[in-house]
Amino acid sequence: MATTAKAKKTADAAPATEPKLRIRVRAYEHKILDLSVKQIMDTANRFEANIVGPVPLPTEIKRWTVNRSTFVHKDAREQFEMRIHKRLIDILSPNPKVIEALTNLNLPSGVTIDVKMI
């Protein structure tokens, strides 16, 4: 009997999930992306936030094949590709100062940021 009562108490006292700020950063050039991620990390460290990452996500590669000529030369083709580099940063239990500092951050053009509260 006592073991079932203990099991019920632990099931009822499930730990509450702490809020998490998930930042996904995307760019076409990896050097600019790494500089932007470093700037985000430095800003979060300045306010002593708990950080997980940056986690490199798989590079998305988009490829196209195009005919060089419009009419006769079917065998002559050009191939183009576009690479999108991605990083993921999690900030655990962010305080309002961290969120405000991240919203006021100036990042280079060509860098896309998606911020979600989980």
Architecture per CATH, 24-117:
2-Layer Sandwich (3.30)
Read off the pLDDT of residues 24-59 as tens digits, 9 standing for 90 and up.
Answer: 999 999 999 999 999 999 999 998 889 998 999 999
CA distance 61 to 32: 18
Candidates 67, 90, 91, 70; CA nearest to 79 is 67
Query: From CA 5, how far away is CA 106, in angstroms rounded?
Result: 55
Is the model's pTM score more than 0.85? no
Average pLDDT of the chain, as a whole number: 86
Q: Is the pLDDT of residue 12 over 70?
A: no
Q: Which of 49, 15, 56 is nearest to 33 (CA)?
A: 56
